[in-house]
Every structure is written in structure tokens, then in C-alpha cells.
Chain A
């Protein structure tokens, strides 16, 4: 088992025929054949990368039974694309687009919550994220596929290349991953750490979790509370931004220390309290996980 995606996932790509959509859809298809169709309004009926293109997500779902979507639509229209996917019955929506206005995401979240309360199953991942990968089964995002390896570690992260760094260290140490989720660096997003932790907690294949956080917001503190109360699987964590100056946005809109909230120190304290193993030096991620898992196994 893995979470969110597996070898049977049937995925569509929204913003399929654009430069980004084309480039990354091709790499995802080379990794595993999960992509069944693309959606670009106005280009329905044609073929792109040898698979059919539809005008609407609704039509694509009807014709292909797609259950997941990968979004590369530009920022002004991306929020609408998320809602289009949700209304068409897509359950796993992964939005890669960077730069969606925060207020647009407030509206999206409100809509999605109404739909979820009415019984619809929707998991939004992102926006502004590298995507999700279940190694050797399904790649839905912009991460390099080959650095991953199938195995027992679930990974959740707010950052892209930082995740690749951690994944690569694990793979080099011969420790594989069950599913790797980039939840993204925006202030308002779909899935958060707690949602992902819950899934990993319930997933039999996942034996331990690596959580890569950063300064800003309170997602890590919320995760700590959940871990303390519910998780018995080991959790490892690295939090980026210890030396970031307050009041400045470090690349990700969400990575900002405002007043006394979102600081590195508070997050580390909360996680330590919850029994999480803190990796202080990023370069030691692989080593720390390997050493600790051996101890747990004994």
C-alpha cells in the first residue's frame, strides 16, 4: 500500500499542451503510464504526446474514468482549474502552479470544504508544490523520478529541492520511500502536515515518516500535537530557516516569521516535545534515519 496514488491511478493533466505541462507530463509518462488524458480548453478532440486532449475535465473524466489530476495552469486561472477538477469528481488534485493569489485559494478552500461536507472525497495537494510520487508506481509532479526508491518511509515536505536532497540521502543509504508528498510553500494550501500524517499513520507499508518543514505558519506545531496524541511510528524532522531574518519572505510566500509566530525555535520545541527526532544538520538526514531505524528494529 501507498497513499494517494499507486500503479492503478488514472491521471489527467490540466494545462497539458502548455510548455510546462508538456515537458513534465512527458517525464511522468516515462516514469509510469498513469496519464490517460490531458485537458486544454479549445484543444479538445486533438492528440498530444499520443494521448487524447479534452476541452473540459468533466468530459475527460467521463471518457477515461480518471481519478486524479495534475495542474500546470498559469496562476490567474489555476484556482478555477482546481474547482473544475473537484466538480468533475476528481479525488486527488495536485496543483503545481506557483504564484496563485492567496485570496483565490481562500475561495477554493471554502468551496472544497462545502463539497467535502456534502460527502465528496477530495484531496488537494499544493498549490506551489513539487507534487506527489509513489516510487516505482506513479509520479505526479516535477520531481526527478530516479532519485526515489520503493520502501517504508513516508515523506512530507513544504519544499521541492529540499525534499529531493532528503530523498536522495535516504535512497543512497538504501532506505526506500512509500509515498513522497510535497504539500507546497504557500500560506493557504490543500493538504497539510496533519492530513498527510493521518494517512501515513494508517498506511501499513509506511513504517516511519520524515517531515521537512520550514519557518512560518503553525503547520509544524499542529503536526507535533497530532504526533504526540496519535502516532506511534517514528517521525524525523528537519526545519529550514533557522537563520532567516524575521519579516522577510524567504522565497515561499508561506516562509515568513511574523512577530513571535512561525519561528524555528518554537517549531523545534513543539516537535521535540512530541518525541520527534530532530535532524539539525540536513546533510545527516540519511545517517540519522538509518541509525534510528536500526535501533527501533532491535
Chain B
């Protein structure tokens, strides 16, 4: 789960990680003036899950409160596309208004779950503000990595080493070592996979402030985080959320061939095969291991909600589930949903012959295929 900047900062506050004073949050449809700004400079930030929003007009400085209200009005509903949104545009639904800070220095700090080392890893650089991926490409020697022991947290010596390596001024030394220890605690307590402060600034007045926040948490651990469960998933689309509620793993894509597959790996491979056959998948959909009538019916309903869909490809490998049961499920499901696009089915595995016969005898217009490749080609051709 990815948290918005202000949600992350609320957690930062609990862990004594210094942030700019919050002047308010305005959601779409709310009156900007309701936060009653005082005169003076403030910063207005679009709350979207996209790095690089500053360059796309999602972060603005206001010199007066009148100017601030105007910026807020304009920013709400604005569309933002950055290098991190991968061609999609996001609509700004909330803005955060904060006190402006006088930046003297920018530092990069994050903790990320390092898969290879199987440990949380602190990744830091004395040169913050820019994208860490860019820095990794151009100046990898400026990136410092320190593993965090999951049981004991950041040791004092590690925090000191890091502070020296980042040239933290003597005045901020203790403040910094406390911050890095707290950040690691937060990472562990919230089952995070990423916690990032970019930038961590030292102000002209000599104060440390986390100017931005990025927190990504582990969905597997949601069961032990009641506070996160209550939060809205800002990344998933409406269809994706609906699918999730009924235990179907669905991700919307840009193509027009709806796909229903059992198993995540096979589902990914099916999308690849559709592409190889000259088409584009409209979605990733894993019906799971069960794949009974109810799940298959729901999966059809979910797929057909996307109006781009011009054909549906079903690719099921019946292992423990038998193909004849799956075929009956498909027949019953198609009767329940109003299917008015071509349906291509590829069944393989246990009792496949019986399964194919059931589809044939059903009287429903179904194009059958013997291999995934044949199914993909037929689906592409049917459009």
C-alpha cells in the first residue's frame, strides 16, 4: 500500500521525525478558505502518488494567502503526468498546505527492503532533492548503503558513521542520529517495504526537516495494521478495488483483449503471449486456484466492466481443479453475464477432453484453442 505525503507525515510525527508545520488539507469540493490561512508564505503540494510532481506543477509557493487560495483552487482537479506515472495521468484530489522552508542543504535518506540481502537497507546520499535512480546512474559513488538488523535496529555506531559520511553539521548531529533510528523503527513497526525522505533538508536557520515523505507498506502484513486497513488505497482503480474485495487479483491495462487466467505467473505469461500474437491485453486477472462457478462469473463481470474489452480470452490450466468442472463453470457464468464479445477458451490439464465436450455441447458461441499460442492468435483475429 502506498501512502500519500500527508499520511506519511502523520506517521513521521508519531516517530518524532521533524516536518514542516501543516496549515491544512483541502479535498476536492471543499472551500479552500475554510482553513483560514494567515498572511505570509506557504507551500501548496498536490497529493498524488507520483515522484517528480514538482516539475509537473504539483508543488507551488504562494507569497500571500490570496495567492494561496487561488493556487489551491487551480491545483484541485488538475491532471498530473510525470516520468513515474508511466503515461497515465493522475487527478489531484487533495492538496497539502504547509509552512514554506528556507532550504540550505538537501539530503536523501531512505530505507528499503533489500531482497537479495534479505534485510532492510538504509540508502542515503549527501546529494538529495533529485531522483535517486538518476543519482545511481550518474554518481553511484555518492550513494551510501547500511543494513539494518531487523531485531536490534540501527546501532549508534551505524548512525554516527552515516552522519559523518553525509557531512551532517555538528549542531544537527544528535538530531540526525535520532532521526535515522526512529525511521528504522517506523519501517519495522509499519511493515514497510520503503520509507523515503527526499529531501531531508537543513534549513537556513539550521533545522532538520523531512520535506517530503514516501511510505510503501507490505500488503501481506495488513492484517496486523488496523490503522492502515482503514485508509483508502489511492493506487487501485475502482474496478481493481471491487475485484480485490471478492478475492480476484485484477489490474487494468490499456489493451482490448480481456484475460482470465488461473495463477499469477501464467496470467503474466498470457499477457506476453497476446502481445506476441499482435494484440494487447486489457487486464491482468488471476482467478486463483479455486476457479469455481462463482469466481468465474465474478471474473467475467469484472472484465466486462472495462468498456475497451472487445474479446475475452480464458486460459485455465486445470491441475487440482478438473477441466470439466471449469467448463461447466464457464457455461453457467456466460449465461449469467451478458457476453456480447467473442469468447476464446483454452483449457488444458485434468479431464480436458470432457471439458472441451461440455463447451461444445453448451450451444454457446465459444472459440476453443488447443494451445495458449493458438488462443492468443484467435483472440487477436476475432477483433
A residues apposed to B, CB below 8 Å: 24, 27, 75-76, 99-107, 109-110, 142-144, 146-147, 157-165, 168, 185, 187-188, 212, 214-215, 217-218, 222, 238, 240-255, 259-260, 280-284
Stretch at the interface among B9-17, B169-177, B267-275, B303-311: B267-275
Specify which of B253, B372, B374 is in contact with A282 (CB 8 Å cutoff).
B372
**How many pairs of A and B residues are in contact by the CB < 8 Å rule?**
169
Docked complex Cα distance between A106 and B249 (Å): 25
Docked complex Cα distance between A252 and B284 (Å): 12
Q: How far is the CB of A164 from chain B (nearest CB, A)?
A: 5
Q: How far is the CB of A159 from chain B (nearest CB, A)?
A: 2
Check B151–A107 contact: CB distance below 8 A.
Answer: yes
Check B373–A106 contact: CB distance below 8 A.
Answer: no
Docked complex Cα distance between A251 and B116 (Å): 20
* Contact (A143, B319) CB under 8 Å given A240-B269, A243-B271, A245-B253: yes
| B276 interface contact, C-beta 8 A | yes
Check B191–A168 contact: CB distance below 8 A.
Answer: no
Check A240–B118 contact: CB distance below 8 A.
Answer: no
Could you give, for residues 186-214 of chain B, a 1 whenever the CB lies within 8 Å of some chain A CB and a 0 otherwise?
00100101000000000000000000000
Residue of A nearest to B265 (CB): A159
Specify which of A99, A255, A260 is in contact with B264 (CB 8 Å cutoff).
A255
Which residues of B lie under 8 Å from residue A142 when comparing CB positions? 289, 319-320
Check B264–A252 contact: CB distance below 8 A.
Answer: yes
Specify which of B119, B137, B218, B349 is in contact with A147 (CB 8 Å cutoff).
B349
How many chain B residues sit at the interface, stated as a range, is 35 or more
Check B276–A247 contact: CB distance below 8 A.
Answer: no
| B78 interface contact, C-beta 8 A | no
- Residues of chain B from 317 to 342 with CB closer than 8 A to chain A in the complex: 317-320
Which residues of B lie under 8 Å from residue A283 when comparing CB positions? 273, 371-374
Check B350–A243 contact: CB distance below 8 A.
Answer: no
Check B371–A161 contact: CB distance below 8 A.
Answer: no
Check B286–A251 contact: CB distance below 8 A.
Answer: yes
Specify which of B269, B318, B320 is in contact with A162 (CB 8 Å cutoff).
B269
Check B263–A161 contact: CB distance below 8 A.
Answer: yes
| B86 interface contact, C-beta 8 A | yes
Which residues of A lie under 8 Å from residue B355 when comparing CB positions? none
Specify which of A75, A110, A248, A284 is in contact with B220 (CB 8 Å cutoff).
A75
Give the 5 A-B CB pairs with smallest separation, nearest first. A159-B265, A251-B264, A161-B263, A162-B265, A283-B373
Check A165–B348 contact: CB distance below 8 A.
Answer: yes
Docked complex Cα distance between A196 and B358 (Å): 41
Residue of B nearest to A158 (CB): B265
Which residues of A lie under 8 Å from residue B118 when comparing CB positions? 105-106, 109-110, 188
- Residues of chain B from 204 to 259 with CB closer than 8 A to chain A in the complex: 218-221, 223-224, 249, 251, 253
Residue of B nearest to A159 (CB): B265
Which residues of A lie under 8 Å from residue B263 when comparing CB positions? 159-162, 251
Interface centre among A100, A143, A283 (most CB of B within 10 A): A283
Which residues of A lie under 8 Å from residue B372 when comparing CB positions? 165, 282-283
